Structure formats: C-alpha cells, structure tokens
Chain A
Amino acid sequence: MKGRYGVWLGIVVFALVVACAPLLITSDRWLNFVVMSLFVAFLGQSWNVLGGYGGQFSFGHAAFFGTGAYMTAVLQIKLGVNAWAGFAAAGAGGAAVGGIVGFLSFRYGLRGSYFALVTLAFAEVLRIVANSVGFTGGGVGLLVPLKQTAENFQFTGKAGYLYVILALVVAGLVLAQWLERSRFGARLMAVRENEDAARALGVPAFATKMRAIALSGALAGLGGAFYVQYFLYIDPRIAYGPGISVEALLAPIVGGIGTIFGPVWGAVVLHGVGEAAKGLIGQIAGKDAIGLDQVFYGVLLIAIVLFMPQGFGGWLRRRTRRRGEGRDHA
C-alpha cells in the first residue's frame, strides 16, 4: 500500500511544484521551456499507454496528433466552432483515427515491427492528404485568428497555457496510475508480455488493444489541439511529419517505458539537457549550428538504449534502491 500512496504523493508534489513555476519564473523563454516540456511529457504519456503498457510500438503517433490539431483548427476557422468544443472534438478525432488504425492492424494480427511500419504509413498517407485537399489549407497551413480570451482557449501570457497543459499531464499521470491498478491495465500488460498466453487465459486481446489505441489516440489528439492553440498555426509537416512521432516515443523510452512517471522524466531529461546542449553548442560553434541539437537527441537515444534499458527513471530507482540496500548491510 505504501507504493500506492507514494505515487499519489509524487503526482501531487509534481503538480504543486510546476503550478508555482509562473510565480517564480518571469522570463517568457523559460516559461516556454516549461510549457514545451510538459507538452512533450503529455505526448509521451499518450504513446506510453499504447507502447509502454500495451507493448505496441507506434512509429506514427503523428496520425492521431495531427488529426486532433487539424480538427480544432478547421472547426474554428471554417465552421466558427468554439475552441474548447474543438478541443473536445480533437480528442474524439484522435480516438477515431486510433480506432481505425487499430481495427485494421489488430484485425489482421500485425505485431512488433509490422505494427510500427503500418502506423508510420498511416501518418504518411494523412500527411499527403492534408497537403493535397483544400480545407486544410494545403502545404501553406492554417492560421488560427488571434482572439486572446480564455473562452477561446487563447491566453495573453504563457501561464494560462502552462496550467492547461499541466492539467493534461496530471490527468495522464492519474490515467497511468489507474492502468497499473485496474483490471483493464492488467489485461493490457498481460497482452504486452505474451499475447498468446494472455489469450489462452481468457484475456480478450483484440478488445484490449483496441481500447488502448483509442485511448492513446484521444490523448494525442488533445495534445494536437493544445499545440494549435499555443502556436495558432498548423501545417501538414508539423501535424503529420515524423518529428512528432519521434518526439512522442522518445520521452517514455528515455524516461522509462511502461512506468507512470517515465514520460515526465524523459521530457525533463530530453528538454533540460537538450536546452543545455543547445546553449553550449551555440557558444562553441556559433549561431548557425543547425542540426546539432538533433544530433544530440540521437546520441541520447542510443546511449539510453545501450546503458539504461529501463530508462532514466528506472536507472534512478535502481541506484537509490541499491544504495539503500548497501546501508542495510553495513
């Protein structure tokens, strides 16, 4: 029972500390850093539901993210729908795309690398469609008109956005905690460990995976809607390009795959160390060091897989536990 309260305590402390950030940080640059880290953590949690707890590695989370983003933008611009209604619609849209992709791939029994490839291909198809049809604005993209009121999901400062994305991240953490404790979560993890054995024990593998991908898609769709409201712009490359798909899987893998706080750790490490590296590289190589910060992401990804297969969070936990054990023996 101690572990259970520990997780709740962790969530509360995390929420309180981050909620104080706008009071302590006045620079827009650093507030933006916090918002973007939270955004990546939320996107990572969306991936973590399907990839971490369900063992289904998606390489095309942009398919869900981009659909949510376009849903919000198109509903607002073309139909004059309120942004918050668009936000809800984005969740539903992401879940729907998740359902379609999941139905097709799980129906035909795609697993492992085949599933990764098919998700990648779906994102690519959507990118080409968004590039070609009229109502998405084609390759030019869509600009959301500026209406800075909270009713329109637009805030004058960064703090408003920070609280929205913080609420989403906290909801994601509660969801992950629920997955670890609930019947549904137990089934999902059973499917991850050994699908055939789980099915033999009576776990409805198809239905379980369907629910997981729809849930994951809904979260990514909400992330897409947040992105649009924050930057007030979307185009096919941002929405459906491989960048978002990679970002979504990087955070939980770096932080600790299939763990509650993994995506948060991952976002902190990736963005924190990434920002530091950017500053350092900028000082050494000058301003036009284009691409070097991405190189750093790649190196970090390989280093984590090589040396911390349980992710940064897992490594931290093992370190502290080992130290504790050492003290007991002494």
Chain B
Amino acid sequence: MFELSILVPAAINGLTTGAIYALVALGLTLIYGVLHIINFAHGSLLMVALYGVFFLHALVGIDPYLALLIVVPSGFAVGYALQRGVIGKASHGKDENILLVTLGLAIILDNLALFFWKADTRSIDTVYALATLDLGVAIVPVTKAVALGGALAIAGLLWLLMTRTDLGKAIRAVAKERQGASLVGIDVSHVFAMSFGIGTAVVGAAACLLLPGFYVSPQVGSTFVLVAFTVVVLGGMGSFAGALIGGLIIGVTESIGGLFLGESLGQIGIFVIFIAMLLLRPSGLLGHRA
C-alpha cells in the first residue's frame, strides 16, 4: 500500500487543484442559482479570459495578477451583454433553449480560438512561476497557494454581495420567484444580466489567478466545463460554500484516484461522484432541497 508520505502530498496537491476547480465553479453556481440554466459556455468564457490575460502579459507586459483590474470588468461587460443581447432573447421561455444557445456559444468561441491561435498550448513566464512554499509535509507552488486564497476571497465577496446589498437581495428574490419579483418592481431581465455578468466577471478573476501556474489552449475550456458542473452539483447548485467544498473534494479525489488508478482512469472518480450525486442527492451537499 501507499505510505502516508506519498498520500499526504497527493492530498495537498489535490487541494490546490481543487481550489482552481472551485474558482471556476463559483461563477457557474451563481448563474445556475439565479437563472436556473446550465451555462455550457462557461468553460469557453474561461478560455477566452485566459487568452485575454495571456495577451495582456505577452503584448503589453501586464502582470497576470494586475490584469484582474482589466479582465474582471471586461468579463462583467461581456457577460451582461451576452445575457441581454443573445441568451435572454433566445430562451422563448424554455430552459432547453438556453442550454442550446450556450452550447452554440461554446462551439463558436472554442473554434474561433482554434482558428486565430491554433491548437498550441501557451503559458506565461513570471518571476514567481517556480517559487514554492515548504509546508513541511509537502511543497506547494506559490501560484497555487494564491489561487486557493483567491477562491476563498471570491467566495466571501460573493456571499457578502448576496446577503448585504440591495442587488443581492434582488438576485435572491428573482431566483426564488421570478413573477413575484417582477410584480414588486424588480427589473428581472436586468437582474438576470447582472447575475450573468457577475458570473462571467468571476470567470475573469479565475483566469487571472489560474494562468501563472497553468496554460491556455483552445480546448482548455472543455477540460474544465464538466469538472465545474460536477463541483456545482456536488456542492449544491447556487451555493458558494458548496462550490468551495465541492471543488476541494473533487481535486483531492482526482489526485488520490490518479495515484491508485493512473492518470487517465483516475479521472473516473470525478464522474462516478457526479453521477451518484445527481442520482441520490441532486440538491448537493449544501443546497436546498428543490
């Protein structure tokens, strides 16, 4: 059997990967929680944001962490416009249509990226890219520790937004009861677009925190999208704390699974959790029962 000296670093490594999954899932869970739609374009928007961070660094020389100031507002603008201009219009009141439109968006974005930037994998080189933290039992790259901290901070900010602001109150009202919210004077399509915008802004933040220790390619979105769904379902759709915990669990599962079953088969653990969760407790660990 494996020694503890291998298991513990694997688990810690899994936690840092899990933080990245949590980052990606936070925006997705907000969008699902409010709009009750499954955003298939989420991974592709992440991919576009990653390219944004990459080119800001490669062409203008902006540090990825500094790029937060540019990428997050642009992410918000793109998300708001997409929901207002395309997704909201196409729904015709049916959730399935939104599923299809976001799928269409994902196909367009992925293949435009393939056309413009080819299938090459690109990464950036920073002074801190190889820096590590020695925790005694394991060595963690600084970039991944920052991502973990960022995930916690963003989850906290989202929680504050939802509980402490008027916008958060309006979002929760729309999520609970669309018609009632519109009867008391809430502009529902504005709230929808705000939620989609904020969700996409979070994707932008995730991209900034992710790229220093990661890479970007046109397919990177699709590698994330199913994992992000798994995290959201596991944690409970619409729950930020759930997304955090779910992300960490998935990260550790993948890491330990890879240790026992090998890289490729190790991924199966993620999907087994996903299917089991969907079947047995679709409301997730921390979600409310529907």
**CB within 8 Å of B: which residues of A?**
57, 59, 104-105, 107-108, 110, 112-114, 116-118, 120-122, 124-125, 128-129, 131-132, 242, 246, 249, 253, 289-292, 294-295, 297-299, 301-302, 305-306, 309
Q: Does A108 lie within 8 Å of B267, measured CB to CB? A: no
- Tell me whether A110 and B100 are in contact in the complex, defined as CB-CB below 8 angstroms, given that A124-B271, A128-B271 are known contacts: no
Residue of A nearest to B117 (CB): A291
Q: Does B104 lie within 8 Å of A301, measured CB to CB? A: yes
Instruction: Add 8 more A-B contacts to A113-B95, A117-B274, A298-B104 (CB < 8 A).
Output: A105-B279, A110-B282, A290-B115, A295-B107, A298-B105, A298-B107, A302-B90, A306-B90
Tally of B interface residues using CB under 8 Å: 44
Q: Does B267 lie within 8 Å of A117, measured CB to CB? A: no
Q: Does B107 lie within 8 Å of A301, measured CB to CB? A: yes
Q: Does A121 lie within 8 Å of B226, measured CB to CB? A: yes
Q: Does A305 lie within 8 Å of B275, measured CB to CB? A: no
Q: Does any Cβ of A come within 8 Å of B265's Cβ?
A: yes
In the complex, chain B residues whose CB is within 8 Å of the CB of A301: 100-101, 103-104, 107
Q: Does B282 lie within 8 Å of A131, measured CB to CB? A: no
Residue of A nearest to B32 (CB): A113
Q: Mark B103-135, 1 if CB is under 8 A from A, else 0.
A: 111111011111100100000000000000000
- Tell me whether A294 and B279 are in contact in the complex, defined as CB-CB below 8 angstroms, given that A113-B99, A128-B271, A305-B101 are known contacts: no
Q: Does any Cβ of A come within 8 Å of B187's Cβ?
A: no
Q: Does B104 lie within 8 Å of A299, measured CB to CB? A: yes
- Tell me whether A117 and B272 are in contact in the complex, defined as CB-CB below 8 angstroms, given that A298-B105, A301-B107, A302-B105 are known contacts: no
How many residue pairs link A and B with beta carbons under 8 A? The number is 118
Q: Does any Cβ of A come within 8 Å of B76's Cβ?
A: no
The CA of A59 and the CA of B100, in the complex, are separated in Å by: 10
User: How far does the Cβ of B234 sit from chain A's closest Cβ, in whole Å?
Assistant: 12
Residue of B nearest to A281 (CB): B115
The CA of A155 and the CA of B202, in the complex, are separated in Å by: 54
Q: Does any Cβ of A come within 8 Å of B139's Cβ?
A: no
Residue of A nearest to B115 (CB): A291
User: How far does the Cβ of B271 sit from chain A's closest Cβ, in whole Å?
Assistant: 5
Q: Does any Cβ of A come within 8 Å of B286's Cβ?
A: no
- Tell me whether A112 and B95 are in contact in the complex, defined as CB-CB below 8 angstroms, given that A298-B105, A301-B104, A306-B90 are known contacts: yes
User: How far does the Cβ of A276 sit from chain B's closest Cβ, in whole Å?
Assistant: 18
Q: Does B278 lie within 8 Å of A116, measured CB to CB? A: no
Q: Does any Cβ of A come within 8 Å of B56's Cβ?
A: no
- Tell me whether A117 and B268 are in contact in the complex, defined as CB-CB below 8 angstroms, given that A246-B103, A306-B90 are known contacts: no
In the complex, chain A residues whose CB is within 8 Å of the CB of B233: 117
Q: Does A309 lie within 8 Å of B104, measured CB to CB? A: no
Q: Does any Cβ of A come within 8 Å of B190's Cβ?
A: no
Q: Does B37 lie within 8 Å of A294, measured CB to CB? A: no
In the complex, chain A residues whose CB is within 8 Å of the CB of B111: 291-292, 294-295, 298
Q: Contact partner of B114 among A118, A242, A291, A302, CB < 8 A?
A: A291
Q: Contact partner of A309 among B97, B103, B226, B265, CB < 8 A?
A: B97
